[in-house]
Amino acid sequence: MKSPSIVMLRRNFKHIARNPTTVFNAVLMPVVVMLMFVYVFGDAFSVGVDYVDYATPGLLLLAVCYGLGSVAVSVNSDVTKGIINRFKVMDVPRSAVLTGHVIASVLTNLLAVAAIIGVAFALGFNPSAGFLEWLGVIGVVVLLSFAAGWLTIAMGLAAKSPETAGLAAVPLVMLPFFSSAIAPTDKMGPGVREFAEYQPFTPIIETLRGLLNGAPAAGDVIPALAWCVGVALVGYLWASSAFTKRA
């Protein structure tokens, strides 16, 4: 017997398969950005280590964010086209509709992350992480993807139209650039630097960077996990209430 969540997940996969631009956005765009930074700009930054080693953790995060725009749009079309009301008046657990979207989003993110890691190795990425550290990296990426997924779904449900839903995810795509993803924060101008140091992505990136170099600092890991759990919780509660409200 197929559980409703699995049925919904399969529906989301069919959507992705029939809409190849979403795959392009989610998987190819981060790779393009990576090639651009590593080949074009990378040598111009002096970060003390090989640039690909510096940038890969941040690009993992960027890979997660790029997939979110299409998630927001697809959730929003479910609402605006009325099919969500069909699911709501059926005896189907209400969570199934949203968990389908979240799981599809996390899996697309993982695909993008795998692509980034593959390309990174091709570009000479040389991390010192052992098996346990790699597990840690995957854990953080999944947690972040899960948290960002719930937040994106909430934004998709709350948006008035698919266009606004697509725009709602733009800050999430921009945020990594104002963090330690591409360049160290201590080289940024005043104002931006403080913002970059305290925004949620920086501790998450530093945690990934620490794990890949074999030594994460507790001062990064704790805020990183706290941000992820906090964002997931806010996203989940917001999504649930928006789902109930929109009839």
Query: Which residues bind to other proteins, rule: CB under 8 A?
Result: 1-2, 4, 7, 11, 14-15, 18-19, 81-83, 85-92, 247
Residue 86 or residue 187: which is nearer to other proteins going by CB? 86
Nearest distance, CB of residue 92 and other proteins, angstroms: 5
Q: How far is the CB of 15 from other proteins (least distance, A)?
A: 5
Nearer to other proteins, 14 or 187 (CB): 14
What is the nearest approach in angstroms of other proteins to the Cβ of residue 18?
5
- Residue 74 or 185: the one with the smaller Cβ distance to other proteins is 74
* Nearest distance in Å: CB 235, other proteins: 23
Conformation bin of residue 189: beta by default, left when phi > 0, alpha when psi is -120 to 50: beta
23: phi then psi, degrees, rounded to nearest 5: -65, -40
Question: Closest separation between CB of residue 66 and other proteins, Å?
Answer: 21
Q: Given the complex with other proteins, which of 14 and 160 has the nearer CB atom?
A: 14
Could you give the CA distance from residue 123 to residue 193 in angstroms, rounded to a whole number? 29
How far apart CA 184 and CA 227 sit, in angstroms, is 20
Closer Cβ to other proteins, 11 or 193, answer by number:
11
Transcribe 6-44 into DSSP letters. HHHHHHHHHHHHH-HHHHIIIIIHHHHHHHIIIIIIGGG
Write down the least CB distance from residue 99 to other proteins, Å.
14
Look at residues 129, 125, 120, 130 and name the one whose alpha carbon lies nearest to residue 210.
129
Between 160 and 187, whose beta carbon lies closer to other proteins? 160
**Number of neighbours of residue 51 by Cβ within 10 angstroms:** 22
**Least distance between other proteins and beta carbon 210 (Å):** 42
DSSP run (H or E) holding 220: helix 218-245
The nearer residue to other proteins, 92 or 188, going by C-beta atoms, is 92
Cα gap 32→214, rounded to integer Å: 27
Structure tokens given for 222: 């704790």
Tokens of 28: 């190819």
What is the rounded distance in angstroms from the CA atom of residue 129 to the CA atom of residue 115?
A: 18
Helix axis angle, 68-80 relative to 131-158, nearest 10°? Answer: 30
